[in-house]
Amino acid sequence: MTFFRKLGWWVHRNRREEELGDELQFHLDEEAEEREAEGLPPDRAARAARLHLGNRTVVEEQVHAVWTWTLLEQFVQDIRYATRAMAHNRAFTALTVLSLALGIGANTAIYSFMDAVLMRTLPVRDPASLAVVNWHSREQKRDARGNREFVMHSMSGSTYEDAGAGVTSGIFPFPAFELLQKQSSTVFSAVFAYYPNRGANLLIDGQADVGRGEYVSGDYFRGLGIAPAAGRLLVAGDDHEGAPSVAVVSLAFCQRHFGGADRAPGRSMLINAVPFTIVGVTPPEFFGVDPASAPDFYLPMHANLLVDGAGLNGVSRDQYLAQDYYWVEMMARLRPGVSREEAQTVLAPVFQRWVSGTASTPGERANLPRLTLLSGAGGLENLRRQYSAPLFMLLMVVALILLLACANTANLLLARSAARRREIAVRLSIGAGRVRVMRQLLTESILLASLGGFVGVLLAMWGVRVLTLLLANGREDFTLRAEMNWRVLAATFVVSVLCGTFFGLAPALRSTGVDVVPALKDVRAGTGPNRRRFRWLSLNRALVVAQIAVSLLLLVTAALFVRTLSNLHAVELGFNQQNVLLFEINARQAGHQDPEIATFYANLLRSLAAIPGVQAATLSQASIIGAGRQLDIRVSGRDASGTRILNTGPRFFTTMQIPLLLGRQMDERDQPRSSPVAVVNELFAKLNFGDSNPVGRHITLGGPRPRDMEIVGVSANVRYQGLKEPFVPVVFIPYDQGNWPPIEEMTFALRTTGDPLSFVRAVRDIIHRTDVRVPLTNVKTQVGEIEETINQEIVFAKLCTGFAFLALVIASVGLYGTTSYGVARRTSEIGIRMALGARREKVVLMVLREVLVLAAVGLAIGGPLALGISRVVESFLFGLKPTDPAAMAVSVSVLALAVLVAGYVPARRASRIEPTIALRHE
């Protein structure tokens, strides 16, 4: 049959339907006339004719099927019918769509973050053929002196140690990179190296700023296949000593400082006081090779010696070509047709030969790193390592929410399908097939779910924004950007349809499985045993039980995180975090040199301390929470292993309000040239001097020139390096005594009267007046800094509490609905009971008892489940076990209370039933 004829028929289907009616009527008339002619009376003849024709509607439908695309038409029909039914039941529709939207929306939001972390590919040409070069070694054992026996003697970068699996890292000595450059041309079309610049002072047109950069080898941009947005990118010729100092900047950076992309090339800027000429701009979508960082500028690898070489973060000339200093990361582009495995087979022996030549002891030779190639399509692993586990945890939680929403909707649909029994029975009895009716019911539930999905996506867009704010928590360098893309939307669509099918199937099976005759007679449910109904009622109850169990899981999770957070807040810091302003300054990067830099910091501190409202001011090489410095400390020649260092300025203990137990703190008496002193904390004193008084004793700081220091005071313990760490032995040393370690960036701390942030303007003015080249960074309050370090716990506590509340509401609504429906069905039974003398309290108790039995079963299932599953979150907890009895008790009581409330309302209504009215209804 031609498409156009069908289309024509479909367009004129109304007229054709009329005609078909006429045609069949004519047939009936003819048939009836014939029967009459055979001698039947007219009425019996007409009846016989009708019987002969059979089910006229079915005939019409079958002819109809010839005309058009049946499935499509029926689908349109179903949708229209479903829309009408939904519009008719507004409250029901709104409730289900809302609960589904919350479930689907939460999943979409979390999933879009997962997508951003796990699925994103680098915005470069053919990302699939990129490979990241890594090495892997067995577990690195320490020798008697605590040193690892490994060819990597020192490093700058990250290594990852997985329990049992050994050590993995992506950093290599520069000679290893040169080796691959020379010997990998059969498998790689390009291999390039890069090393992060973790922050530099910039001066552009007299304006000071800070930025992060990346040192890249000559083939970096060619290997990635990037085209410039303006000017040119770095090439091999730029990367050798003595080449002109050139830089490439990111488009965002360029727009911030120069306006359009075309304005940047040819301009110059100072990076850590070294002049660079900007030659080009990277394209807008390019963010380097690490999704976790977006560099502002790219410099040739060799520029590292000029820009960072002087400081601790930089690479010295010796280290640059050393075979045991691991620092550069590498990526390569595979030649067409070469797989990663093949390339690894070729290169692993090459690296093996080279690295065995660098081993100096049998221990090192026994555990050489092996070269491995990982997929480079997604860029570096940093984001994944940081966020995979927490996001996966959140995804599990929201999946539970969705499960709950589905169970709830199924329950509501079950209750409603009971109300629609008559309608369905009518449709079945006039010849609708069971499959056809089920299809229609499923269309309804899938439409509901899709609507929920649609609203859910809207909610998710908002949720992603909120979640981004929560996760970033004011950090400027937060780079995890989630977005709605087709993958996320497709996943949402699939989830919606699956949900619709999932929660629609049971009610659809139930409604179409009715016994037509009693349903049509409208036999009041509950009068007489009916096994089938009982079974479905059990399903109804099973769903409520499941909801209670899932709610308990979510409540326990939330309670565990809230307890974790309160444990963290209750951690004894050892100093007063209130009313302290923190900020960082790096004078060395702005061009200050030894020994003038110490004077610069000391003068600046004096000016800052003079700001009205500042009670005390100090500085230290890092904040207490952010510190992490371990240097060689000896007590009477013995190594005081595990000792941490904090280089501080004068009046550190007054400003931070750390109690001094013995002696004095460091103050103006301690000058760069006066005799070296130190303050130790309680734990250090106890570990190294036992019960004797350490004040007046001497300790030695190792380094290029070992320094003897006199202990002048003992302080209380402080939370060095983070809240979750136990107290560690700490030695506080004046930042300006001796030349080791060199003075670099400094964190200033001001104890203020009133809101610390209201002093930022005054601080900025003073620093600007002192030296315009020095930018102010990382301005925050001490409270804010601590919140940042426990941000994940704060987010988990907030989100999980929200989710648990949501779960509680959904489950309560489900329980309320089921109980109300049960009461409505049993109106006459309750009426009879009351007519026979049952008291109201007794009726309330009767209904409540059923609710409580459901709750008890739910808790009995959910309890062990929660105990089992809470182990998954163990690594996110602090100061408590996943089986924390308090968390469990709180969750159970909250849930029990909600269940009681949800059950009491319908129970009370049941007790108000008037027997006379209830029985008259029969």
Single residue of 13, 27, 263, 629 touching other proteins by CB under 8 A = 27
Degrees, nearest 5: CA angle 596-776-717: 80
CB of 43 to other proteins, least distance (A): 20
Which residue, 23 or 285, is less far from other proteins as judged by CB?
23
Single residue of 18, 19, 285, 596 touching other proteins by CB under 8 A = 19
**Two structure tokens written together for 920:** 């008259």
Single residue of 12, 18, 21, 29 touching other proteins by CB under 8 A = 29
Candidates 26-34, 395-403, 502-510, 649-657 — which segment interacts with other proteins by CB under 8 A?
A: 26-34
CB of 443 to other proteins, least distance (A): 25
CB of 12 to other proteins, least distance (A): 13
Which residue, 6 or 698, is less far from other proteins as judged by CB?
6
Single residue of 11, 15, 21, 23 touching other proteins by CB under 8 A = 23
141 binds other proteins (CB under 8 A): no
Candidates 24-32, 244-252, 489-497, 638-646 — which segment interacts with other proteins by CB under 8 A?
A: 24-32
CB of 56 to other proteins, least distance (A): 9
Which residue, 66 or 772, is less far from other proteins as judged by CB?
66
Contact 585, 604 (CB under 8 A): yes
- Residue 816 CA to residue 811 CA, distance in Å, equals 8
Which residue, 46 or 495, is less far from other proteins as judged by CB?
46
Single residue of 7, 12, 21, 22 touching other proteins by CB under 8 A = 22
Q: Cis omega before residue 595 (within 30°)?
A: yes
- Type of residue found at 86: M
**Two structure tokens written together for 414:** 């079950």
Single residue of 7, 21, 30, 569 touching other proteins by CB under 8 A = 30
Terminal-to-terminal C-alpha distance of the chain: 56
**Two structure tokens written together for 813:** 């609504």
Query: Residue 703 region, left (φ>0) first, then alpha (ψ -120 to 50), else beta?
Result: left
Candidates 3-11, 200-208, 353-361, 705-713 — which segment interacts with other proteins by CB under 8 A?
A: 3-11
**Two structure tokens written together for 360:** 């100096």
Residues 37-66 that bind other proteins (CB under 8 A): 52-55, 58-59, 62-63, 65-66
Which residue, 40 or 861, is less far from other proteins as judged by CB?
40
Candidates 19-27, 97-105, 153-161, 434-442 — which segment interacts with other proteins by CB under 8 A?
A: 19-27
The mark string for 66-95 relative to other proteins (x by CB under 8 A, - otherwise) is xx----------------------------
Candidates 15-23, 210-218, 577-585, 733-741 — which segment interacts with other proteins by CB under 8 A?
A: 15-23
26 binds other proteins (CB under 8 A): yes
Strands 677-681 and 614-620 come out as unpaired
Which residue, 5 or 125, is less far from other proteins as judged by CB?
5
Candidates 18-26, 103-111, 470-478, 546-554 — which segment interacts with other proteins by CB under 8 A?
A: 18-26
**147-185 burial: b if 16+ Cβ within 10 Å, else e:** ebbbbbbebbeebeeeeeebbbbbbbbbbbbebbbebbe
Which residue, 3 or 534, is less far from other proteins as judged by CB?
3
CB of 72 to other proteins, least distance (A): 17
Size of the site for other proteins (CB under 8 A): 26
Element (DSSP H or E) covering residue 453: helix 434-472
- Tokens 């996966």 belong to which residue? 392
CB of 64 to other proteins, least distance (A): 9
- Residue 63 CA to residue 70 CA, distance in Å, equals 10
- Type of residue found at 751: R
Which DSSP letter does residue 123 get?
S
Which residue, 49 or 315, is less far from other proteins as judged by CB?
49
CB of 417 to other proteins, least distance (A): 31
- Residue 506 CA to residue 494 CA, distance in Å, equals 19
The pair phi, psi for residue 844, each rounded to 5°, is -55, -45
Beta-carbon contacts of 84 under 8 Å, excluding residues fewer than 6 positions away, are none
Count of alpha carbons within 13 angstroms of residue 779, beta-carbon side: 13
Signed CA dihedral, 288, 293, 296, 298: sign only: negative
24 binds other proteins (CB under 8 A): yes
Q: Can you state the angle between helices 760-770 and 596-609, rounded to 10 degrees? A: 140
Q: Cis omega before residue 741 (within 30°)?
A: yes
Which residue, 59 or 539, is less far from other proteins as judged by CB?
59
Contact 323, 173 (CB under 8 A): yes
- Type of residue found at 612: P
18 binds other proteins (CB under 8 A): no
Contacts with other proteins, residue ranges (CB under 8 A): 1, 5-6, 9, 19-20, 22-24, 26-27, 29-31, 34, 52-55, 58-59, 62-63, 65-67
